Amino acid sequence: MNPSRAAADPEPSLTAAGVAFGAPGMPPRWTSSSKEGVGTAYNTASRLWFTLSHGIVNEIYFPCIDQPNTRDVQLLVTDGETFVHEERRDFQHETTYPEKGALAYHIVNRAPDNRYEIRKTVISDPYLPVLLIDHQLVIHDPALLGKLRLFLLLAPHLHGHGSGNHAQILDLAGQPVLHACRDHPPPFDGVDIPQCPGWKCRSYWRNRHGR
C-alpha cells in the first residue's frame, strides 16, 4: 500500500471504477502446508471440506475436494492506538477436539501479552455446503474493555485462483453479506461483515467484524 495515499485517505474504499484500494497487491500465494486439521460434515452428501493451520481456517474446498476457494480467513485485532495483532502471526494457538471422533475443532488463540484471547469453534453444516465459525472474544485485561476492534481478513482464491476475483457487499434481508465470485455462480459467499473490499499486501479483502 502506498503510505502517502494511506495518510491522505485514512478510510480507503472502492475507487470510482469499482476497484479496491491498493490493487492489485502482491502476487497471490498459497498458505502453509503444515496443517493442524482437516474437516468436512458427517453427511456423505456434503461437498465442502476445509483445513486448519496456525489457529485459523485455511483452504475451503467446494464443490470438489480438489477445488479450493480460499487461501485463509483470520481476524485482525486492534485497540485503535497501540497495536494491531494478526491472528495467524501474533497469537499462541491451541487446537483441540470438543470430543473424540467429532468433526469439529475448538481453537484458542491467545494474544502475545495474554491480555485477551479468541476462542472459536469450526464445524461444517451437516446438510448445507456451509462452514460455520463461531468466535468468542475473551478479555482478561479490564483496560481493554470497550476498546478492541475486530476485523475479518479473508483471502478468496475462487476456483483455485488468487487473482481475478470480485467481491461486493450485498443486503440480504437487512443483513450485509460479502459476495465473492469469478466468471461462474459464486461458490463462496455469506460472510456477515459490513465493510467494502480492500487490499492488504496480497489479494486480501478486509472487512469489519461488527464490533
Count the domains in the chain: 1
Residues 6+ apart with CB under 8 A from 35: 51, 52, 53, 58
Q: Are 134 and 119 in contact (CB under 8 A)?
A: no
Over the Cα atoms of the chain, what is R_g?
17
Q: Which of 18-22, 71-75, 85-89 has the lowest mean pLDDT?
A: 18-22
199, pLDDT greater than 80: no
pLDDT range class, residue 162, cuts 50, 70, 90: confident
pLDDT at position 161: 74
Indicate whether 7 belongs to any domain: no
List, for residues 177-188, the tens digit of each pLDDT value: 777 777 654 444
pLDDT range class, residue 171, cuts 50, 70, 90: confident
Tell which wins on pLDDT, 13 or 103. 103
User: What nine digits make up the cell of 139?
Assistant: 478479555
List, for residues 58-72, the tens digit of each pLDDT value: 999 988 898 888 889
Indicate whether 173 belongs to any domain: no
pTM: 0.74
User: What is d(CA 61, CA 48) in angstroms, rounded to the nearest whole number?
Assistant: 6
User: What is d(CA 60, CA 49) in angstroms, rounded to the nearest whole number?
Assistant: 6
Indicate whether 123 belongs to any domain: yes
CA dihedral 70, 121, 42, 184 (to 10 degrees): -20
Tell which wins on pLDDT, 29 or 185. 29
Indicate whether 196 belongs to any domain: no
Indicate whether 184 belongs to any domain: no
Determine the 3-state secondary structure of 40 from DSSP: coil
Indicate whether 61 belongs to any domain: yes
Indicate whether 26 belongs to any domain: no
172-198 in b/e burial notation, b at 16+ Cβ within 10 A? eeeebbbebbbeeebbbbebebebbbb
pLDDT at position 196: 31
Return the CATH number at 43: 2.70.98.10
Residues 6+ apart with CB under 8 A from 125: 41, 48, 131, 132
User: What is d(CA 76, CA 93) in angstroms, rounded to the nearest whole number?
Assistant: 15
User: What is d(CA 34, CA 53) in angstroms, rounded to the nearest whole number?
Assistant: 7
201, pLDDT greater than 70: no
Indicate whether 178 belongs to any domain: no
- Residues of the domain holding 96: 35-164
